[in-house]
């Protein structure tokens, strides 16, 4: 079954249900002519994630179709699944060393300072559209906010930050020259690295340098952390805002403080995880699971969305709040190293919108979604609200 295209994106859970009826791990077409497997249950997802790297590898060098040149160069799967020289795609000691550099750097972030940074960025973005009474919350708020926050956390001066932002958006624009965008991005990340080697400051770039990374490792790690943090955070903020604005369970009650924002985030992380299917893994030798034989050489995508929606978990709709058993941040050695930072960024981003934009309501009932193979998120969220009469004075 395909896990791409408009029908899948519109209702992925229908596909997960059919695939689940075939088995805990089912064969799928990931993109046109790109074949692999998808986990369909919570147990299968955990089995793979917890047995990486001893029984399943993360390195795409085990991907047979890639090694034999069968993946079309313009395949959307390639951008998301090809090998890159960073922690996400490595196994064993190489992964452990690079991941330790990342986790030790992220652990030095002062979450109080982060709150202030996110609040300032949120207010600047809101100031730009508050007087108009209408905006697209994705294009004008949830997309730029995580990107600007990460640029700040990396201690990037505005000119290099702007070059990074422009190159990343070109990279994800399919009609642009990806190779040129990639090289602009690498040059900008290298410029940032050289600047921080000369003048270290209390920021992620300087902490990664202090952890001993080479220039090449710095470039790839900056790309990984910015890439891994921005789209998922935007999806989380937008999915939660949409739910708060439109869902009967939340409409009004989060605005009024009856439900804290964190309850809405927990519900989204369970029912609409921002990274829906990812962590492609490769069976090392002969592997079976619940009687299924897993052919080596094919990517097995872990479905965080199908795992969270596994009916055998039997979680009542009201029981998501405070329940962190979901797999939205993955699990095992490659689990997201920053779930707490992601929550801080998302909570503040949502609170600022609710505080600053009174009488917020959806301007359209037809919302378009990003292609759903790997991500679950909106491409736009048009809203109306009461226009702000005067600037806030910040």
Q: Which of 370, 281, 377 is nearest to 4 (CA)?
A: 370
Residue 271-290 contact track with ligand HEM, rule CB under 6 A, x = bound: ---xx--xx-----------
Q: What is the DSSP letter of 278?
A: E
Select 130 or 240, whichever has its Cβ closest to ligand HEM.
240
Select 77 or 236, whichever has its Cβ closest to ligand HEM.
236
CB proximity list for 261: less than 8 A, separation 6 or greater: 240, 244, 254, 347, 350, 351, 354
Q: Which of 383, 140, 135 is nearest to 242 (CA)?
A: 383
Q: Candidates 111-119, 188-196, 222-230, 378-386 — which segment interacts with ligand HEM by CB under 6 A? A: 222-230
Distance CA 31, CA 4 (A): 6
Q: Which residue in 336, 354, 360, 367 binds ligand HEM (CB under 6 A)?
A: 336
Select 102 or 130, whichever has its Cβ closest to ligand HEM.
102
Q: Which residue in 342, 357, 378, 383 binds ligand HEM (CB under 6 A)?
A: 342
Q: Which residue in 45, 126, 192, 224 binds ligand HEM (CB under 6 A)?
A: 224
Distance CA 270, CA 262 (A): 12
Select 40 or 233, whichever has its Cβ closest to ligand HEM.
233
DSSP labels, 287-347: EEETTEEE-TTS-EEEEHHHHHT-GGG---GGG-TT-----TT--GGGS-S-HHHHHHHHH
- Supply φ then ψ for residue 302, to 5 degrees: -90, 120
Smallest distance, Å, CB 249 to ligand HEM? 21
228 binds ligand HEM (CB under 6 A): yes
Distance CA 119, CA 349 (A): 7
Nearest-CB residue to ligand HEM? 336
Smallest distance, Å, CB 318 to ligand HEM? 22
Q: Which residue in 87, 213, 240, 301 binds ligand HEM (CB under 6 A)?
A: 87
Select 369 or 384, whichever has its Cβ closest to ligand HEM.
369
Look at strands 25-31 and 292-294 and give their pairing. Answer: unpaired
Smallest distance, Å, CB 156 to ligand HEM? 14
Select 24 or 307, whichever has its Cβ closest to ligand HEM.
307
Q: Which residue in 15, 39, 105, 233 binds ligand HEM (CB under 6 A)?
A: 233
Total number of residues binding ligand HEM (CB under 6 A)?
Answer: 26
Contact between residue 381 and residue 238 where contact means Cβ atoms under 8 Å apart:
yes
Select 34 or 236, whichever has its Cβ closest to ligand HEM.
236
Site for ligand HEM in 90-129 (CB under 6 A): 99, 102, 106
Q: Which residue in 25, 57, 71, 88 binds ligand HEM (CB under 6 A)?
A: 88
| Cβ neighbours around 314 below 10 Å, total | 7
CB proximity list for 191: less than 8 A, separation 6 or greater: 160, 163
Distance CA 88, CA 221 (A): 9
- Supply φ then ψ for residue 292, to 5 degrees: -90, 135
Interface positions with ligand HEM (CB under 6 A): 87-88, 99, 102, 106, 224-225, 228-229, 232-233, 236, 274-275, 278-279, 304, 328-330, 334, 336-338, 341-342
């Amino acid at each position: 079954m395909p896990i791409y295209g408009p029908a899948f994106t519109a209702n992925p859970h229908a596909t997960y249900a059919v695939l689940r009826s075939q088995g805990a791990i089912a064969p799928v077409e990931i993109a046109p002519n790109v074949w692999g497997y998808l986990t369909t249950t919570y147990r299968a997802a955990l089995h793979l994630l917890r047995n990486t790297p001893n029984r399943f590898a993360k390195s795409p060098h085990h991907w047979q179709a890639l090694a034999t040149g069968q993946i079309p160069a313009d395949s959307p799967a390639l951008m998301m699944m090809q090998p890159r020289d960073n922690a996400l795609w490595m196994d064993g000691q190489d992964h452990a060393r690079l991941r330790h550099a990342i986790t030790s750097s992220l652990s030095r972030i002062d979450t109080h300072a982060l709150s202030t940074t996110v609040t300032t960025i949120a207010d600047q973005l809101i100031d730009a559209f508050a007087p108009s009474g209408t905006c697209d919350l994705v294009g004008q708020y949830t997309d730029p906010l995580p990107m600007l926050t990460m640029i700040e956390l990396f201690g990037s001066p505005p000119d290099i930050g702007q070059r990074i932002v422009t190159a990343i958006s070109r990279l994800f624009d399919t009609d642009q020259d990806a190779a040129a965008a990639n090289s602009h991005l690498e040059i900008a990340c290298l410029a940032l690295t050289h600047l921080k080697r000369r003048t270290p400051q209390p920021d992620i770039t300087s902490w990664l340098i202090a952890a001993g990374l080479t220039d090449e490792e710095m470039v790839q790690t900056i790309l990984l952390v910015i890439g891994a943090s921005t789209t998922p955070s935007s999806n989380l903020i937008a999915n939660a805002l949409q739910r708060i604005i439109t869902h009967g369970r939340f409409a009004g009650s989060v605005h009024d403080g009856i439900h804290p924002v964190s309850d809405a985030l927990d519900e989204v992380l369970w029912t609409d995880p921002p990274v829906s299917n990812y962590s492609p893994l490769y069976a090392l030798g002969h592997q079976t699971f619940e009687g299924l034989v897993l052919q080596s050489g094919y990517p097995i995508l872990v479905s965080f969305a199908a795992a969270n929606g596994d009916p055998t978990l039997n979680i009542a709709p009201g029981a998501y709040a405070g329940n962190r058993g979901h797999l939205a941040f993955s699990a095992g050695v490659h689990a997201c190293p920053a779930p707490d930072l992601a929550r801080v960024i998302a909570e503040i981003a949502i609170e600022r919108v609710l505080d600053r934009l009174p009488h917020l309501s959806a301007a359209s009932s037809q919302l378009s979604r990003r292609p759903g193979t790997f991500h679950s998120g909106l491409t736009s969220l048009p809203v109306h609200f009461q226009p702000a009469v005067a600037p806030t004075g910040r």
